[in-house]
Amino acid sequence: MQAAAGQWEVVRKREPLAEVVAHPDTSPELAAKLQLLDEARDFSIAVLHLPDNKSYRSYADLGRDYVVWNVFAAPEFSLQPKQWCFPVAGCVSYRGYFKRDAAIRKSERLQEQGFDVAVGGVAAYSTLGNFDDPLLNTMMGWDDVALVALLFHELAHQVVYVRDDSAFNESFATAVEEFGVARWLESRGELARYEEYQKGREYRQRLMRLVARARTDLGAVYNSVENDEEIRQRKAQRLQQLADDVVTEARDSGKEPSAWLSGRLNNARLISMTLYEGDLPAFRLLLAECDQDIRCFYERARELAAMDADRRAAALGR
């Protein structure tokens, strides 16, 4: 019920982009961003062959910082996420709430049950083409390149989506995002901005390698025969090491430390990070095998999506 009410609010507050841009109360900064995103939407159809529909041709001001808040959960001694299942999206490794208080209440109930829990605000999400998703005020604090990347990412979910496989879906969409941003900036002669974007992606990859090593170490800890208290202590030590490593990496890279990874860490926070990029190297290889032909890439991704879960995981591993 809360999801239906929240989605109805998003639908109800949509306004056509042209009307928002022309309205005298619209700031020049917002108008410029919306015009840029409208151009990027045209590009997504003509060059990236993303769906030609009414998604992101409207704007909605929700009057808050995030559209939803996602709750992630995992057992205390496991990196397997708790999953929730829904009619359209299938089973996913998070639960979304349109009100932060509701997300916090859910997280507290899960903590009482012994789960590691994390709650994070989300600026945008895809309804997989079931609704005409609008651009949202929650997205507008990002810089232009990040906004265009988000647009391509969310549209990619309308091309390929596998029920019950969040990691596949998010990694595929991230690969489309990377490819799209490169082509978008090249088409505009903004190679310097592309280099900046690449540096940001490389920094994120370094963080992901730190997370991957921590996950491997924690997996060994959780499979050990030690008692719970010893496992708990070793877990805390490894998570603190990860937090320290993240701060060091940020300092060496001239970045602000990730609040999500340098604070109080637990299994749920690590799971949320790997959803978006766990299979990304495999998708990058698929693009290379397709000689950067995006339509070939989509077809290969659809072939993977049609496999059962075990065959798909094995194929991605190869």
> pLDDT tens digits, residue range 3-27?
899 999 999 999 999 999 999 999 9
pLDDT at residue 276 greater than cutoff 70? no
- Which DSSP category does 70 fall into? E
* pLDDT at res. 12: 96
How confident is the model at residue 132, as a pLDDT?
Answer: 93
Task: Please give the average per-residue pLDDT across 303-310, as a whole number.
Answer: 95
Question: What's the confidence (pLDDT) of residue 176?
Answer: 97
d(CA 199, CA 251): 15
Please check the confidence at residue 279 and state whether its pLDDT lies above 80: yes
Written as one letter, the residue type at 231 is: I
pLDDT digits (tens, 9 = 90+) for 170-215: 899 999 999 999 999 999 999 888 888 888 888 988 998 899 999 9
User: What tokens does 199 get?
Assistant: 């540096």
> On the CB side of 21, how many CA atoms lie within 13 Å of its CA?
14
CA atoms of 95 and 90, how far apart (whole Å): 12
What pLDDT shows up at residue 275? 65
Q: Indicate the pLDDT class of residue 139, thresholds 50, 70 and 90.
A: very high
Higher pLDDT, 272 or 158: 158
Q: What is the mean pLDDT of residues 28-36?
A: 97
Q: Do 94 and 70 form a contact (C-beta atoms < 8 A)?
A: yes
Contact 158, 128 (CB under 8 A): yes
Least confident of 48-52, 92-96, 259-263, 308-312: 259-263
Question: Which residues are registered as beta bridge partners of 74?
Answer: 116
Cβ-count burial of 269 within 10 angstroms (0-12 exposed, 13-18 middle, 19+ buried)? Answer: buried
According to the model, what pLDDT value does residue 197 have? 87
Name the pairing type of β-strands 58-60 and 135-136.
Answer: parallel
Look at residue 87 and tell me whether its pLDDT is greater than 80.
no
- Tens of pLDDT, residues 208-261: 889 999 999 999 999 998 899 999 999 999 999 999 999 999 999 999 888 777
Read off the pLDDT band of 273 (50, 70, 90). confident
Q: Name which of 84, 80, 45, 49 is nearest 302 in CA terms.
A: 49
Interval 95-120 mean pLDDT:
96
Q: How many CB atoms lie within 10 A of CB 52?
A: 11
Q: What is the DSSP string of 76-128?
A: TT--PPP-EEETTTEEES-EEESSHHHHHHHHHHHHHTTEEEEEEEES----T
Q: Report which residue type is found at 266.
A: N
At residue 208, the pLDDT reads 87
Residue 117, strand partner residues: 73
Q: Would you call 144 helix, strand, or coil by DSSP?
A: helix
- What's the gap between Cα 104 and its chain centre? 20
> How many other CB atoms sit within 10 Å of the CB of residue 293?
12
Q: Helix, strand, coil shares of the chain as percentages rounded to 5? A: 60, 10, 30
Measured in degrees and rounded to the nearest 5, phi and psi for residue 67 equal -80, -40
135 three-class SS: strand
pLDDT at site 112: 97
Q: CA dihedral defined by 258, 261, 262, 268, rounded to 10 degrees?
A: 150
